Amino acid sequence: MYRVVLIDDERLIVEGLRKVVKWGDYACEVVATAEDAVQGAAVIREVRPHILFTDIRMPGDDGLTMLAGLRSEFPDMQVIVLTGYRDFRYAQEAIRLGVTRFLLKPSKMDEIHEALRTAVDHLGRTAQEEEKEQQSQHSGSFLVRQAMSYMEKHYAEKLTLQDVADACYVSQWHLSKLLNKHTESSFYDILNTVRINAARELLRDPKLKIGEIAELVGYTDTAHFARVFKKLVGMNANEYRNSL
């Protein structure tokens, strides 16, 4: 039996799909449901479904980031999107990320059945390796951009790999692998670079002390900040300030 997960913040839609679709006719079984992207990502890692029906425009969640995370971490999982968000560019990006079908709400039952048949058909045959590699590359690049953007917005906080992975709806192990593959750098090397670049800008303000700048860019230990700054810039913070 193929395992199916349903994710939607509208409970009526989840229950309607669960009850109305004759899953057994497609050798499928609904094994779990979720109401948001965070809960859904946890459920998916637990039950590892073959097929996912999901809304990607849920309150508080970045649907495309969730979708990229799922496609990158679970490339063989068939994803069918059900959404009321009518934006052509959004749909295009979802398709590039490798969704099986992109359906607009309210969806007709024949559309849902066709999507399910297609997903089962894809599972029953070997996917084209070239196509899978392209989709994986696109999903990975999308996620790395999202991770970098998140770090640039939150570098002043006590930021961990787990924090960024959660924001990208992937495991920290998978995000670490993607960062190394696409940037040839580790998470902490990237974070240090982002923080030191921010510090270089702040050093233009003579009113700010070095210790204050270290704290503003996320370092609680001024000595550690000094070591990282010199390693990345080639001179200490005072020398850099005097060179401006």
pLDDT level of residue 37 (50, 70, 90 thresholds)? confident
Residue 15: Cβ within 10 Å count? 13
Q: Do 2-126 and 190-243 come out as alike in CATH topology?
A: no
Please give the pLDDT value at position 129: 59
- Three-state DSSP state, 236: coil
> Tens digits of per-residue pLDDT, 91-143?
788 788 888 888 888 888 999 999 999 999 988 875 555 766 677 778 888 89
pLDDT of residue 201: 96
Given a contact cutoff of 8 angstroms between Cβ atoms, the answer to whether 16 and 23 are in contact is: no
Peptide bond into 75 cis (omega under 30): no
pLDDT tens digits, residue range 133-158?
A: 677 778 888 899 999 999 999 999 99
Domain 2-126: CATH class, spelled out: alpha beta
All structural domains of the chain with their residue ranges: 2-126, 131-184, 190-243
Q: φ and ψ at 100, to 5 degrees?
A: -75, -45
Q: What is the CATH number of domain 190-243?
A: 1.10.10.60
